[in-house]
Chains A and B, each alone.
Chain A
Amino acid sequence: MSVILDAKGLNKSFGAVTAAADINVAITQDSIVGLIGSNGAGKTTFINMVTGYLKPTSGTISFDGRDITRLNPRQITRLGICRSFQIPQLFNTLSVSENLRIGVGIVVQAGGRWGGGKGQGYDDPGRAVDAMLDQFHLGPYRNRAAGLLPEGTRKLLDIAMAMVVRPRILLLDEPTSGVSADEKFSLMDMVMAAVQEHKVTVLFVEHDMDVVSRYTDRVLAFYEGRIIADGEPALVLDDVEVRKFVIGGHAAAAGGGGHA
């Protein structure tokens, strides 16, 4: 498998606080990677650096062999790296179908230039929106204003909006947070079906270890801005340091229950 995303020596400091320390990671195409770690461990900082929201203090990020370290979010999105947000970022006064229609329109406008020249446009915007609504089970909400959706549906729409612009890499920031325990797996099943259909590489931040072990083929464990473990889910989740600094933290936060 070829490397699609390569981060080398990434550091990010906010004054005296180090949010990322010497992060080196290569992501292969079509992989599903889980990012775990307690709050403040550096997972979202990593996603923010990859998507151009934050610039690293030092180090480089390359996508498909091209240096994207200093590009802005729009340029990075146009290369094919898209993201969802911990707090869904929607067009609240617009309907669900219009939220998706905006993304379809952006891709159509960009034409063959999308995804670094490797993307394809949409032949029929209306049908593309319908297909997206079906894929993410959003059909019943198509005419409802996005600001009036329940939280789980907002999460789903947020992810659909990242998918509608045809990414090659999709970064999901806590896709199941705020979603009820019953809905978590159905949401992830829907997302994974979509990414597999379109052969998208996925990195997602997640606190629920059941979700991590079920959907990923690789896990990166963050602690105090560093990656302390990297490998297959079973091995990483069984790692002594991970159990102590990551899962232990979650178990404590969950009242001693733990997920792993």
Chain B
Amino acid sequence: MKLDRTGLSLIVVVVMLLVSGPFLPSWMVSLLNVSMCYGIVVLGMMLLMRTGLVSFGHGLYYCLGAYAAGLIDQVWKMPDMLLMVAGSIVATAVVSAVLGLLLAKYREIFFAMLSLAFSMILYGLLVKSASLGSTDGFNVAAKTVGGVAVEGDTLRVTVFSVTAVILGIAAFLLHGYLASHRGRLAGAIRDNELRVEYMGASVFATVHFNYVVSAVLAGIGGALMAVNIGHIDPEMTYWPQSGEFVFIAILSGTGSVFAPLGGALVFESVRSFAYEYSPNTWQMVLGITMLVVMIFLPGGLWSLFTRGKAKEAAT
């Protein structure tokens, strides 16, 4: 995989986060943490949207990743942050590989609604599971990172740093995948599945693979959120959560791996400040933000950076 401009930019961003982490105020660390976790989830949403699919049920994998992390901590008594992330990857990869066999056959509203249905099934199961805390969920706490014990302020900075590094790795790998022979098929499938098959590539296999990748990214985001927030509950797979991911993905655009990261930061900032200064109408502020973006930037915020290319393609 080549280290191009995007790869180098990602390294710069991650280094800047690592260097500035210890000096940032706690409110900003929290804001960035949540943005980074959402950003990872929305990277997966971006991959699906490039393939022509919109999932209204990615809360399923976000929640599954968080619960996998929680169970590693609470049941297996191994509160290691990296182990939790690894557990979320395995859990979401297995579940999405199975569900993907069905979902990869559907498109448009059928795909969206089926994915929503699966997320609501998990919600129902969790709500009825007293051993998993039912609607209250349970607390999660990472005490080691890669076997090294961390606590107090060091823990806060370490969790922030590890989240930033994982975000960088996820974005870098996804960028490499999108530029690969197989990754390029996403846009082709969105445009014309018939032609893809008549060029000798399997639409089903590609959609299935992209679905699993997007689910794993959602799971990683969920596990990191669990570690950052310290609590998980079934709301993570409830439909408004999935809708939030779609919201950020549309707000961001799909032109680059930077789009979801920037979009998540904008979304979380608008929400946080709106909640702070307008606690009774913060949803309205978010709605107006979305409306403005959709009217003036139908390609999402990232289209601000790609207007030149779009003009070239049209002439």
Q: A residues touching B (Cβ–Cβ < 8 Å)?
A: 51, 72-74, 77-78, 82-83, 89-95, 98, 101-103, 105-110, 114, 125, 143-145, 148, 161-162, 165
Give 20 new A-B contacts, CB below 8 A, not counting A91-B191, A91-B192, A143-B312.
A73-B198, A74-B200, A74-B201, A77-B198, A78-B200, A83-B198, A89-B194, A90-B195, A91-B188, A92-B191, A93-B190, A94-B188, A102-B188, A105-B184, A106-B201, A107-B200, A110-B200, A143-B313, A144-B313, A144-B314
Give the residue of A89, A102, A148 whose beta carbon is less than 8 angstroms from that of B185. A102
Nearest neighbor of A84 in chain B, beta-carbon distance:
B198
Please tell me if B197 contacts chain A, counting CB pairs below 8 Å.
yes
Select from chain B the residue with minimum beta-carbon distance to A102. B188
How distant is A80 from chain B, measured CB to nearest CB, in Å? Answer: 9
Contact, CB under 8 Å: B314 / A148: yes
A89, B192: Cβ atoms closer than 8 Å: yes
What separation, in Å, do the CA atoms of A25 and B184 have in the docked complex? 39
B160 → chain A closest CB, angstroms: 38
CB-CB < 8 A to B181: which residues of A?
A: 105-106, 108-109, 125
Would you call B133 an interface residue if the criterion is a C-beta within 8 Å of the partner chain's C-beta atoms? no
Choice from A74, A93, A102 contacting B197 with Cβ under 8 Å: A74
On chain B, which size bracket covers the interface? Answer: 20 to 34
Residues of A within 8 A of B188 (CB): 91, 94, 102
Contacts of B195 in A (CB 8 A): 89-91, 161
Set A89, A95, A105, A144: member contacting B198, Cβ < 8 A:
A89
Can you give 7 contacting A-B residue pairs, CB < 8 Å? A74-B200, A90-B195, A91-B191, A94-B188, A102-B188, A106-B181, A145-B314
- The one of A90, A125, A145 that contacts B192, using a Cβ cutoff of 8 Å: A90
List CB contacts (< 8 Å) of B168-222 with chain A. 180-182, 184-185, 187-188, 190-192, 194-202
Residue of A77, A94, A144 near B191 (CB, 8 A) is A94
A145 contacts across to B, CB distance below 8 A? 313-314
Closest to A109 in B: B181
In Å, the complex CA distance between A98 and B181 comes to: 11
Query: For the complex, is B131 an interface residue (Cβ under 8 Å from A)?
Result: no
Q: B280 interface residue, CB < 8 Å from A?
A: no
A106 pairs with B191, CB closer than 8 A = no
Residues from chain A with a CB closer than 8 A to the CB of B184 are 98, 101-102, 105
Cα separation A108 to B187 with both chains bound (whole Å)? 18
Separation of A82 and B200 alpha carbons in the complex (Å): 9
Distance A77 CA – B194 CA, assembled complex (angstroms): 12
Q: Which residues of B contact A105 (CB under 8 A)?
A: 180-182, 184-185
Residue of B nearest to A93 (CB): B191
Q: How far, in angstroms, from A89 to B198 measured CA to CA in the complex?
A: 10
Task: Please name all residues of chain B whose beta carbon is closer than 8 Å to the beta carbon of A148 when the two chains form the complex.
Answer: 313-314
Q: Does B198 contact A91, Cβ atoms closer than 8 Å?
A: no
Q: Which residues from B are CB-within-8-Å of A101?
A: 184
* Assembled-state Cα–Cα distance A102/B180 (Å): 10
Q: How far is the CB of B298 from chain A (nearest CB, A)?
A: 13
**What is the CA–CA distance of A237 and B143 in the complex, to the nearest angstrom?**
85
Are the CB atoms of B197 and A77 closer together than 8 Å? Answer: yes
Contact of A109 with B191 at beta-carbon distance under 8 Å, contacts A73-B198, A77-B198, A89-B198 already known: no
Q: How many angstroms between the C-alpha atoms of A95 and B188 in the bound complex?
A: 11
Residues in B with CB closer than 8 Å to A165 are: 199-200
The interface residues of chain A lying within 8 Å CB-to-CB of B191 are 90-94
A144 near B197 (CB under 8 angstroms)?
no
**Residues of B close to A77: CB separation below 8 A:** 197-200
Across the interface, name the chain A residue whose C-beta is closest to B201: A106
How many Å lie between the Cα of A108 and that of B183 in the bound state?
13
Interface residues of B in 289-314 (CB under 8 A from A): 312-314
Determine the distance from Cα of A102 to Cα of B187 in the docked complex, in whole angstroms: 9
Tell whether A106 pairs with B315 under 8 Å between CB atoms, given A89-B192, A91-B187, A91-B188: no
A109 near B313 with CB under 8 A, answer: no
| B residues in contact with A51, CB < 8 Å | 198
A138 to chain B, nearest CB (A): 14
A106, B187: Cβ atoms closer than 8 Å? no
Q: For the complex, give the distance between the alpha carbons of A16 and B185 in Å.
A: 40
Would you call A102 and B198 a contact (CB within 8 A)? no
Assembly CA distance A27 to B111 (angstroms):
43
A70-B234 Cα distance, complex, nearest whole Å: 48
**CA of A144 to CA of B309, assembled, Å:** 10
C-alpha spacing A73/B313, complex, angstroms: 31
CB distance from B53 to the nearest CB of A (A): 15
Residues of B within 8 Å of A74, CB to CB, are 197-198, 200-202
Docked Cα-Cα span, A125 to B187, in Å, equals: 18
Closest to B204 in A: A74
Q: Lowest 7 A-B CB distances belong to which pairs?
A: A105-B181, A91-B191, A77-B200, A89-B195, A145-B313, A78-B200, A106-B201
Q: Which partner residue on chain B sits nearest A79 by CB separation?
A: B200
Q: Are B190 and A161 in contact (CB under 8 A)?
A: no
Q: Which residue of B is nearest A108, CB measured?
A: B181
- With both beta carbons as reference points, the residue of chain B lying nearest to A78 in the complex is identified as B200
Q: How far is the CA of A51 from the CA of B200 in the complex (A)?
A: 11
CB closest residue in chain A, given B200: A77
Q: In the bound complex, do residue B200 and residue A92 qualify as a contact, i.e. CB atoms below 8 Å apart?
A: no
